Amino acid sequence: MTAELADRALDAVLRTQWAGQPATVLRSPPGAGKTGVAERLALQSARLLNERCMVVTQTNEQAFDLARRLAANSGQFPVHLFAKQGLDLPADFAQLPNLNIVNRMADLPNGPSISIGNATKWSWLQTPDALFDVQIVDEAFQLPDYRFQLIANLAARHVLIGDPGQIDPFVTCEIERWRCDPAGPQVACPTALIKRHPSIAQLELPVSRRLNSDTVRLVQPAFYPDMPFSAMSIDRALAFGVAGIMPFDAALDAVAGGSSVVMVELPAQITGQIDNDLAHELVSAIQRLLSRQPTMRDDGRTHEVTPDMIGVVCAHVNQVNAVRERLGPDLAEVFVETANRFQGIERPFMFVHHPLSGRADATAFHLDAGRLCVMLSRHRVGCWIFGRAGIAEQLQRFAPVGDRALGIDEDSEFRGWSAHLSIMLSLIQSGRIYPAVYGHSPTPVSQIAS
């Protein structure tokens, strides 16, 4: 059933281009295959509709990934990567004979073609006429509208694909003068475009290929209350060859028992950003996971769990460094990064440093719903959240006052606070909070509700 839903959604997206829709916004939950949709749209445009197609990414790494995928899946059809001269390119590009590197506008292909580049590179093109028939923007909810306006004139039609639950676009300038404008330059470009043109085509992908059903039940109500979706995965599981006897084994066995997201709590303590005990506990948990001879099933295939299948996500760079310093050479392949850099990346198993852990307050940055959504939606099989006890009480103490700008219905701080509290209450109510090695009892949900 979920496969049929996914196929119908993809068919609807592809049909918008045959119908000549001037603009289409496609919303997607985590792991729904956004990049695959962008790939199919580009191939349809160039090979079936005989169009000039441009694909916009947010980073060079995303452009590299799309270029690699399109070159591998397009037969011998040429694919062009529009990049700055002297850019350090991946070594495997040499094995893709139909991938061409283009540095100047004059060298872009004229006929039916696919050209890929990041938004910054595209913004340097200056032309009074549309150069392309269609512009496909991948991860569009990370592109602020002011940057979209720099490239919107390059194509006659637009398809904006993205996840509305991820981290909002990063803007460095002061935005107070635009706070009352729902289509302001700092707003994600799909949101701003819909505010200006409510009649444009809006579609949604109804399934997640990455997240399992248990995770969807936790994540969807907290971060996507207006966008229901289901899990497409089947037969995802963790198993151990060695029985659990250590204190942390209860949290490991919970994931093996079907609870895909659990929390490990250390005793309450104000630590600030760097929590050495938490970093030590997190790395010890990774070591314990690997020492129990774990295997995983992922959509019908069984694999031995290795360090490269594990990710660690933190809110701050110094937290990332604290974890990396403790990994050692045997765990060098464990991928540790901030939530911003983890967008678009997945691992079978994730370890999360809770953004509110050890803090004496609850600021807008740490309450950000998109940040927590990224952290809790990178895994395919299991996720362990590490934090200090008392986060739910902390949220109650620092409930936002409702600093909503005149004329704006969206209150991002309240939305983040609500999402955090929803996740914590769900973990407590379902008995998914486990004490760390130090040991303590989680706060009863009845005390938090009161």
Does residue 197 register a pLDDT over 60? yes
**According to the model, what pLDDT value does residue 440 have?**
43
Structure tokens at 24: 């289409």
User: What average pLDDT does the segment 250-266 reach?
Assistant: 96
- pLDDT over 70 at 402, yes or no: no
Q: Which CATH class is domain 213-449?
A: alpha beta
**Angle, vertex CA 184, rays to CA 402 and CA 186, nearest 5:** 80
For the chain, the domains span 2-207, 213-449
The model's pTM is 0.89
pLDDT at 449: 42
Distance CA 19, CA 22 (A): 9
pLDDT band, very low/low/confident/very high, at 443 (cuts 50, 70, 90): very low
Residue 428 tokens, joined: 């407590």
Residue 253, SS3 per DSSP = helix
Fold of 2-207: Rossmann fold (3.40.50)
Distance of CA 95 to the CA centre of its chain: 29
User: Residue 348 pLDDT > 80, yes or no?
Assistant: yes
- Please determine whether the domains at 2-207 and 213-449 fall in the same fold group of CATH: yes
- pLDDT reading at 447 higher than 60: no
Rounded mean pLDDT of 1-30? 93
Query: pLDDT tens digit string along 263-278?
Result: 999 999 999 889 999 9
* Backbone phi and psi for residue 214, each to the nearest 5 degrees, phi listed first: -65, -45
CB within 8 Å of 142: residues ≥ 6 apart = 58, 162, 166, 167, 169, 188, 343
φ, ψ of residue 113 to 5 degrees: the values are -165, 170
Which stretches does DSSP call E strand in 154-278? 155-162, 201-204, 207-208, 230-231, 237-240, 261-266
What phi-psi label fits residue 256: left (phi over 0), alpha (psi between -120 and 50 degrees) or beta?
alpha
Kindly tell me if the per-residue pLDDT of 445 is higher than 50. no
Asked whether residue 110 carries a pLDDT value surpassing 70, the answer given is: yes
Contacts of 299 (CB under 8 A, 6+ apart): 233, 234, 235, 236
